[in-house]
Structure 1
Amino acid sequence: MMKLLALFVVCGCVVLADGPAYSDDTPEVDCDNANTQMEMNICAGEDYDAADADLNAQWKITRKAMADIDADIDEPDDQGAEKALLAAQRAWIQYRDGQCEAVAFGYYGGSMRPMVEQSCLADLTRKRTEELKAMIEEP
């Protein structure tokens, strides 16, 4: 019985030592050569972070352009470009998050679910960035 208990203790330590280490620090991964699912998940997250940063930069530009449009309209009742943009962006965020969550449910319980969701977020975010750019381009 004592040998069995000792075996469980040793096995438990091995399981703990081999288990994933969760911390705020994400390990550095060469995303051009990601091989494990964990690496691919990390890279998908980094890709989404980059797409989100681009979106936020474009958002500032587009929002300012919409505010400028409002400033050029003499009648206050006719203004609303910036307000409309903000409403559209809030609706888009709801859509993006819900859509990607729904897509990821197809992989429920699987280790690639985070990658699928993050990839979806990155894809839709890039598309939205292009839409924001197109809103302020000259026809």
Structure 2
Amino acid sequence: MKKTISIVFLLFSTFVFSQSVTGEDELYADYKKADKELNLVYNKIIKKLNETDKKNLIESQRAWIKFRDLNCKFISQDPGDGGGPYENKMKLDCLIQSTIGRTKELKNWADN
């Protein structure tokens, strides 16, 4: 049992260390910040809408999230399907930039 716990701890430590060495921790933090701002703007807008507009925004947001996730997966995909830290960083950067762009789009819409 102790051996199993030690192995799990070692694997987890290696994973955490590899993320911090490659700079992925900072990107995860940036993505979390961008996503939080998007949710704040989205929730602020959704409260002001009538039922029809609310339904349309919810539907469009779901479609946008699906598009964003698939688009970033495609953009960061290694043609050799090797994967790794570089591809993960590309995907995170895409998620961050897309989320910031959507937040700006929603803010612009709300201002009009």
Structure 2 length-normalised TM: 0.76
Percent identity at matched positions?
27
Give the deviation of 1:65 after TM superposition.
2.0
Give the deviation of 1:20 after TM superposition.
6.6
1:41-120 mapped onto 2 (5 Å cutoff): 41-66=24-49, 70=50, 80-106=52-78, 108-120=82-94
Alignment match, 1:8: none
TM superposition outliers: structure 1 runs of 4+ over 3 Å: none
Gaps of 5+ in 1: 1-16, 28-33, 71-78
Gaps of 5+ in 2: 1-9
Residue 109 of structure 1 aligns to a residue in which SS? coil
Instruction: Map Cα deviations across residues 45-82 of structure 1 (whole Å, 9 max, x no partner).
Output: 1110100010011111111122xxx2xxxxxxxx6111
Say whether residues 1:21 and 2:4 are aligned partners. no
Root-mean-square deviation (Å): 2.5
Higher relative contact order (CA 8 A, sep 6+): 2
1:50 aligned partner, one-letter code: K
| Structure with the higher fraction of residues in helix conformation | 2
Aligned length: 100
